[in-house]
Structure 1
Amino acid sequence: MLAGKRILLIIGGGIAAFKSLDLIRRLRERGATVTPVLTKAAEEFVTPLSTSALAAEKVYRDLFDLTDEAEMGHIELSRAADLVVVAPATADLLGKMANGLANDLASTLLMATDKRVLVAPAMNVRMWLHPANQRNVETLRGDGVLFAGPTEGDMACGEYGPGRMAEPLQIVDAVQAALADGPLKGKRVIVTSGPTHEPIDPVRYIANRSSGAQGTALARALSALGAEVVFVTGPADVPPPDGVQVERVQTADQMLAAVQGALPADAAIFAAAVADWRVDNAAESKIKKDGSGKLPVLNFTENPDVLATVAQSKARPKLVVGFAAETDDVVAHATAKRARKGCDWIVANDVSPETGIMGGSENAVTVISASGAETWPRMSKDQVAAKLAAKIAEALT
């Protein structure tokens, strides 16, 4: 779990700060030591006394406390932890981090640390979606900062939408993933997941029947083994896992660009159900039915082959794994696909309607490689993910 791990917890000023008290308790239950830092604004929501009591540690608050500077100093405090967690991470704190500002203890610690940083954003939906905040988020993701959330939900201000802080147990999962010391530690893995949506007009699209459950489970399993996971997801039903870098896309073109932008990597796992075709004469406004019986003419063109493009590129990862969803002659079609695409493995499954696999909670796969076909029994998608992640770790180490 987290036994012996040291967490520096920076608590920002927002109503979600009350969750940080439960977060401290959950982290300590798993064996972590938590050193809390309160911003001045955070003290309006939680007290130093309650924070200190739950952490069983001194609370740090002031950059210019000479006693603390003599005993430890903000440089040492920032580097003594195994992980720095910011929860809640307000828009102000994210802005300071993204722009290199250091005018209080919290922001100075974040500038001085040489450890990984995990943030759990919490703010009003309009603040979260504001272009300035989104620019800061993109900058921080590019700097390697990890994100847990935010999620969608009701807010204290009465609005609903993205910006709600992840729940304490979700943040704990992200902390455990960030500190995972498994066989994939130091390895960078790209995972694609979900369907793509190819527009016909602004309200209609072509898509595949994919929930994103298997790709999400695989990203979570790889992260648990210590991998740095870049999760490129189409508009899936299943939310992405915490503790991974999430890149959201809609179309096949966008998915290819996101994957290429995430290279180099040690492995790339293509679990997404990418639409094979798109409409090349997509309408800019909604196509109307006028009662004449005349049908719109849709001109189709092939989408880029994301798997083949990466598998055959100069920036090819050491291990490239594709997925093949088939309805007949599964192994034969998947074997041919592996040779055609140029990938190392193909994970094939039968998605005929009677199997209940597409969109269901279970999967039955055959892993096809140069050495032959290995058929696994039907099991949950989480179990498939764990077994495949272990196989990937073996291939990369």
Structure 2
Amino acid sequence: MLRDKTIVLGVTGGIAVYKAADLVSKLKKQNANVEVIMTEGAANFVTPLTFQSLSHNLVHMDMFKELKNYDIEHISLAQKADVILIAPATANTIGKIANGIADNLLTTVVMASKAKIIFAPAMNTAMYQNPIVKENMDKLKNLGYEFIQPQTGLLACGDYGEGKMAEPADIVEYVISSFVKKDLIGRRIVITAGPTIEPLDPVRYMTNFSSGKTGYSIAKEAADRGAEVILISGNTPLIPPKGIEVVNVKTTREMLDAVGEYFDTCHVLIKSAAPLDYRPKTVSPIKIKKKPGEQDELTIDYIRNPDIAAYFGKRKKEQIIVGFAAETNNLSEYATEKMKKKNFDFIVANDVTQEGAGFKTETNIVTIIDKDGNSNDYPLMHKKDVAKIILDKVSNILKNRS
């Protein structure tokens, strides 16, 4: 994700420095080049050797050390940085930068850089809520600096409140998203994901093997690209991406109603869910019991559920609708027929019998067919990469219409 990117990590003096070590490790796992600048206060908590071992680079601290060559350190770091991330960011460092003070290597690099600057604050609740600190953060935000919201929890001082540094995994996700093109700002995208369920009795239900991973990957990618995302999710244990609106549903009819709440005001509907086509005609009010005898059979009558995709395909005006087809044979034929019948702009089809392309996998092998007859086959890839391809196509359609 961060290959060929240089992250200059500013580590300032606070107990959350121990999290910064984990942060370096996670950034390296994303193939980032990490250059660490430590303040004198930070070195009182963790030694520079720790960060040197994790980053595989020398740690930078002294602005006034003897030059070994003409590579002036603070200018060199400022120029090579794709992002400067300050984590933990103390009230002291935030205040210095907000007021143009450059009295150590970190603040000097920040002043000399044109890179994106991201702060991950960490401090006592009273300090974080102090009007002066708030004023400094607001000033920096207005200048284009970015802040990762701290957590609320038990702090090192024993207090419980706001000011705990965000978790390293969340910070890494924020950094990754900062490199994603923001081509969907101002667009409202409704995404359905996961399976629906239909009850048989109070303790049993029917469903399918859909995991929701594709829909959740699309939701995250869309949010990273600036879209307003409404994720209408069926029954799945997946954790929704941050910063999106989530509507949880169970049955196909609930999913239909939920989409209906947002359809008229959305720009794009992405139907990656796998709603059940049928439901029991009658739901037993009590648990269905086994009958004695090995040859006994249970018969259940089913009726059709509403076809969500077809319903909104008929209602659409300017909306883009993306459909999905999970097939076991005649992939292109069935997918094309489905796309035309349900008035999709394009359809994402996969053969679930192929290894790596079925339900509950992290990968997929897809064919994308559009209403103009264009068809593109894609090799085995992670569902996150499939999401990028889908949204690239959505973005191009939106650009061509504007």
TM-score, with structure 1 as normaliser: 0.62
Pairing of 1:55-70 with structure 2 (within 5 A): 61=126, 68=132
Q: Give me the whole-angstrom Cα distance separating, in 1, the residues matched to 2:121 and 2:270.
A: 43
The structural deviation recorded for 1:223 is 2.4
* Paired residues of 2:121 and 2:150 also in contact (CA < 8 A): no
Q: Give me the whole-angstrom Cα distance separating, in 1, the residues matched to 2:151 and 2:21.
A: 11
Q: Give me the whole-angstrom Cα distance separating, in 2, the residues matched to 1:327 and 1:63.
A: 56
Q: Give me the whole-angstrom Cα distance separating, in 2, the residues matched to 1:275 and 1:184.
A: 31
* Paired residues of 2:196 and 2:275 also in contact (CA < 8 A): yes
The structural deviation recorded for 1:327 is 1.4
Distance 1:55 1:344, change over 3 A: closer
* Paired residues of 1:20 and 1:88 also in contact (CA < 8 A): no
* Paired residues of 1:265 and 1:317 also in contact (CA < 8 A): no
* Paired residues of 2:90 and 2:121 also in contact (CA < 8 A): no
Distance 1:189 1:24, change over 3 A: farther
- The corresponding residue for 1:265 is 266
- The corresponding residue for 1:157 is none
- The corresponding residue for 2:285 is 284
The structural deviation recorded for 1:237 is 5.2
Spell out, residue by residue over 1:145-179, the C-alpha distance to the aligned partner (whole angstroms, 9 max, x if none). xxxxxxxxxxxxxxxxxxxx984313542576489
- The corresponding residue for 2:56 is none
The structural deviation recorded for 1:74 is 9.0
- The corresponding residue for 1:155 is none
Q: Give me the whole-angstrom Cα distance separating, in 2, the residues matched to 1:268 and 1:56.
A: 37
The structural deviation recorded for 1:216 is 2.0
Q: Give me the whole-angstrom Cα distance separating, in 1, the residues matched to 2:270 and 2:244.
A: 14
Distance 1:24 1:65, change over 3 A: farther
Q: Give me the whole-angstrom Cα distance separating, in 2, the residues matched to 1:180 and 1:355.
A: 26
Q: Give me the whole-angstrom Cα distance separating, in 1, the residues matched to 2:359 and 2:124.
A: 50
Look up the SS of the partner of 2:192 in the other structure. strand
Q: Give me the whole-angstrom Cα distance separating, in 1, the residues matched to 2:129 and 2:354.
A: 66
Look up the SS of the partner of 1:199 in the other structure. strand
The residue type equivalent to 1:61 in the other structure is A
* Paired residues of 2:181 and 2:225 also in contact (CA < 8 A): yes
The structural deviation recorded for 1:291 is 1.5
The residue type equivalent to 1:392 in the other structure is V
Q: Give me the whole-angstrom Cα distance separating, in 1, the residues matched to 2:230 and 2:121.
A: 36
Q: Give me the whole-angstrom Cα distance separating, in 2, the residues matched to 1:36 and 1:303.
A: 56
Q: Give me the whole-angstrom Cα distance separating, in 2, the residues matched to 1:223 and 1:346.
A: 21
Distance 1:89 1:298, change over 3 A: farther
1:385 and 2:368 are equivalent in the alignment: no
The structural deviation recorded for 1:22 is 4.8
1:211 and 2:204 are equivalent in the alignment: no
Q: Give me the whole-angstrom Cα distance separating, in 2, the residues matched to 1:64 and 1:358.
A: 47
The residue type equivalent to 1:31 in the other structure is I
* Paired residues of 1:321 and 1:345 also in contact (CA < 8 A): yes
The structural deviation recorded for 1:296 is 3.9
Pairing of 1:125-140 with structure 2 (within 5 A): none
Distance 1:190 1:56, change over 3 A: closer
* Paired residues of 2:148 and 2:171 also in contact (CA < 8 A): no
- The corresponding residue for 1:31 is 84
The residue type equivalent to 1:240 in the other structure is P
- The corresponding residue for 2:368 is 367
* Paired residues of 2:120 and 2:147 also in contact (CA < 8 A): no
Q: Give me the whole-angstrom Cα distance separating, in 2, the residues matched to 1:323 and 1:176.
A: 28
* Paired residues of 1:23 and 1:169 also in contact (CA < 8 A): no
Look up the SS of the partner of 2:126 in the other structure. coil
The residue type equivalent to 2:328 in the other structure is T
Distance 1:18 1:205, change over 3 A: farther
* Paired residues of 1:180 and 1:226 also in contact (CA < 8 A): no
Spell out, residue by residue over 1:212-269, the C-alpha distance to the aligned partner (whole angstroms, 9 max, x if none). 2222222222223222222222123543333432222221112122222233111111
Pairing of 1:157-176 with structure 2 (within 5 A): 167-170=167-170, 172-173=172-173
TM-score, with structure 2 as normaliser: 0.61
Distance 1:32 1:324, change over 3 A: same
* Paired residues of 1:178 and 1:226 also in contact (CA < 8 A): no
Q: Give me the whole-angstrom Cα distance separating, in 2, the residues matched to 1:170 and 1:65.
A: 25
* Paired residues of 2:268 and 2:320 also in contact (CA < 8 A): yes
* Paired residues of 1:322 and 1:343 also in contact (CA < 8 A): yes
The structural deviation recorded for 1:325 is 0.9
Q: Give me the whole-angstrom Cα distance separating, in 2, the residues matched to 1:61 and 1:353.
A: 57
Distance 1:291 1:311, change over 3 A: same
Pairing of 1:214-293 with structure 2 (within 5 A): 214-236=214-236, 238-263=238-263, 264-292=265-293
The residue type equivalent to 1:173 in the other structure is E
1:334 and 2:329 are equivalent in the alignment: no
Q: Give me the whole-angstrom Cα distance separating, in 2, the residues matched to 1:370 and 1:55.
A: 46
Q: Give me the whole-angstrom Cα distance separating, in 2, the residues matched to 1:64 and 1:196.
A: 44
Distance 1:180 1:257, change over 3 A: farther
Q: Give me the whole-angstrom Cα distance separating, in 2, the residues matched to 1:64 and 1:337.
A: 55
* Paired residues of 2:184 and 2:227 also in contact (CA < 8 A): yes
* Paired residues of 1:223 and 1:229 also in contact (CA < 8 A): yes
Q: What's the C-alpha RMSD, in Å, of the aligned pairs?
A: 4.4
Distance 1:18 1:308, change over 3 A: farther
Q: Give me the whole-angstrom Cα distance separating, in 1, the residues matched to 2:375 and 2:236.
A: 28
The structural deviation recorded for 1:82 is 5.8
- The corresponding residue for 1:304 is 306
Look up the SS of the partner of 2:169 in the other structure. helix
Q: Give me the whole-angstrom Cα distance separating, in 2, the residues matched to 1:327 and 1:367.
A: 16
Q: Give me the whole-angstrom Cα distance separating, in 1, the residues matched to 2:375 and 2:219.
A: 22
Spell out, residue by residue over 1:341-397, the C-alpha distance to the aligned partner (whole angstroms, 9 max, x if none). 112111111123667523333322221222214132322122222222211111112
The structural deviation recorded for 1:271 is 0.8
Q: Percent identity?
A: 30
* Paired residues of 1:325 and 1:348 also in contact (CA < 8 A): yes
The structural deviation recorded for 1:72 is 4.0
Larger Cα Rg: Structure 1 or Structure 2?
A: 2
